[in-house]
Structure 1
Amino acid sequence: MKRNRIYRTSCLLAGYMLLSAAALAGEGNPPVFRKGDRLCVELTLGTGETELSANEQLIVTPVITDGKNRMTLAPVVFTGRIRQKVDERRERLYGTPALPEGAADNIVLRNRKQASEETLIYVGDVPYEPWMAGGDLVLQRDLTGCAGHSASLSPLLLARIPAPVRPQLTLLVPAEEPVKRRSEQITAVVHFPQGRSVLLRGFADNGRQLQRIDSLTARLQENDGLTIEKIYLKGYASPEDTYAFNTKLSANRVASIRNYLHERFAIPESDFATATVPEDWDSLRRWIVVSDLPVRDEVLAVIDEVSDPDARDAAIWKIDNGKTYLRLLHEVYPQLRRVDYRVEYLLPAFTTEQSRRLIESGPGQLSLAEMCRLAASYPEDSPERASVCAVASAYYPDDPCACNNSAMLALRQGDTQTARHYLSRCADDPRSLNNLGVLCLMEGDREKARHCFTLAADRGSADAAYNLAHFDELSYEDFGQRSSENLL
């Protein structure tokens, strides 16, 4: 024990059946309690029924034990007046210590009237170790009488050491979206015969490309709870031929795909919105930048400096007598003739049970609030809660609630580095203050942890109020252990 104190009030103590433990008057502490990384013992020792004779010595030692492990605190010695003289003489003559090593105090009882005249207050603390949780605080009593006769009396059970209090972590559930609007998009490289706008399913790779559009459309139509708001079609053409011709051609090609969807899936024409890019110079330029064209810089200069698209097309043809132009025509231009297909739709609100099914089959249909409510429905340390939080973080990576909940999961796993990463991304949201307090506690900054809990509690966090109320007993030792067993 590194620190112990004995306080004597107005009188002395006697008896070896003595010794009852009580809380310090006015402080409300139990005989043994956790305070940060220390286990504290605070006892009021009172007299018992059996007196200590003048020839006897009683050594009273507080012991912390769980049946397998034990830690001994400094003993208190009660010595009769004759025994004291004998011990002092033996120490002078033979060097035999009168008191056990580390004794907190020696109470010399000089007359029997002292038996009811003193109260002794014992205060000590030791480093807290996990095995102490649920153990006992007992008083070990060793009596020595005449002629060195000694006996160990039955130990007195004073108190059960309370189990550590786990910090409450905060899982946030945001407000539900007023409207759950979603969209899905694919890019299909639909081929048309050069200069034509007739859609041929058997031409080039069109069968596979149209199957992708069909699959997305059918899946959304088969979802009874989903309402399609708008289908956006944007067609792109390559730069060969004149700009005026390409403008008309790209519009006709988009109209062909719109008509195809209208006929195949009975989609009203009013549900479509179309746009065109007659000549996709931007995509062409990006390809040239990373290409190995020998005249790459010359082609880029033409694209950047010649504003008229027809003159630009002609200038590229002239660079090396059409060699580069022909390569672009065969390798690049076919990929520029494409359609962006985007469907915007509305989703209904889902119950927790519906969310439980969709988190596996269609997580994109769930709002963050629905994901968080689903996570909250699972036990704190369950793999299901961890899995849902991970999905929420993937689908809503920048949302403060998702970041806070990912930090909560990391803290539960004992991973403070990941927790700090996520908390830094939602630092402006006061709802994350409680989890920040737990992080500070785990990193050893108890002062900052208390400050965070206080701020969060003032803002209405029940978790922070709990952590603040049990601040000295908080323990996170099992976080990492639980994560390795249940969460990974």
Structure 2
Amino acid sequence: MKRNHFISSLMLLAMGLTAYAGETAINASQAYTPLKVYDMAARVDESARSIAITIDLNMADMHLSRDREMVFTPMIISENGADSLELSPIIVAGRNRYYWHMRNPEFDAPGTKVYRAGSKEHAQYKELIDFQPWMNRSTIEMRQESATCCDDPIPYPGPSRHGNVELAVIDTSRPAVEGDFVFTPPVDAGPVVKKIEGSAFVTFVVNRTELKPDYMINRQELAKIINSIDFVRKDKDATITHVHIKGFASPEGPYLNNVRLATGRTETLRRYVRDLYSFPDTTITSSFEPEDWAGLRTWVADSVTPALANRQGLLAIIDGTLEYDARDHALRTYYPEDYAVILKEIYPWLRHSDYTVTYSIRTYTTIDEIRAAYSSDPTRLRAIDFYTLAQSYPVG
């Protein structure tokens, strides 16, 4: 989970980074009006392993002599002081020093930002750095130094224990979560609903929609649907709520004729099953897929047998933008040997009827019924039944 930590500044807005008395003597000619931090923010993104630091410096009231500059260096320092990281410095310079930096940028460290003292513009400082483990507990501080063209930088000590001005604290540690366990009974979400699914390869006479139970192996295939329904009907705890049959046809032949055949054959099979059990029309429904191109693609792409010499070419046509009739024609025209194999060994498997028998399990009302169901088939139990069963046992 992405966690962002927004670290607020410890200093007030319009905070002054003032010079503090220290061992270094600073005379009046070196003094300056405190720099104002207009705004400051740090964002730690642990998932991206980064820290984004933004500082908005207001230099309008800061005045320096023309040959002097102030160097402000943001730093991240670990809580124990063992690790630290200096960021790109910010230089605020008097007139002469400012133009010297403009003419000689090669002398500045990479990333250095130079602004003219007294300018009305704000220095928009932004830095994105990699988050290191030691930064989990650290501080963002500003080191202050004064310099001229020739002198060594003079430090302006700050109040932090490292001699800087502390801007913000980074603490990504998370407090330990200590909560009481609360056991709440699950709600009654209604009866358990289960399904039986399968495929039956019911065969029809070429170009006809009448169902002949004794034709080819239809008795065997129809038995798949009948046995599934009977399995549920014999279960005293189950009630059939829905039976759905979806018919599929193979892609050979004109598409419109396949629509007619798929519609008629699926409806014929639906009525056959409905009349066997006197199901109302609302209980048994049907749909159809005139040409099972998705099934053909699966066979061509994934099956080891039958052997096909041009699988990639066949898939390119199947996945292409041709109309259905043109697509089947292209398969037959460009790859006649493979098409002969498809026609004989794959297309028959695409002429099938998928069926789903949906049924619900009655609600068990006594602990003995729940125990019996748990012993025979725990999938018949609801969450509240498991809870009720658990409450019947002693603690432990």
Give the alignment's TM-score, normalised by structure 1: 0.40
More strand by share: 2
Which structure features the higher share of helix residues? 1
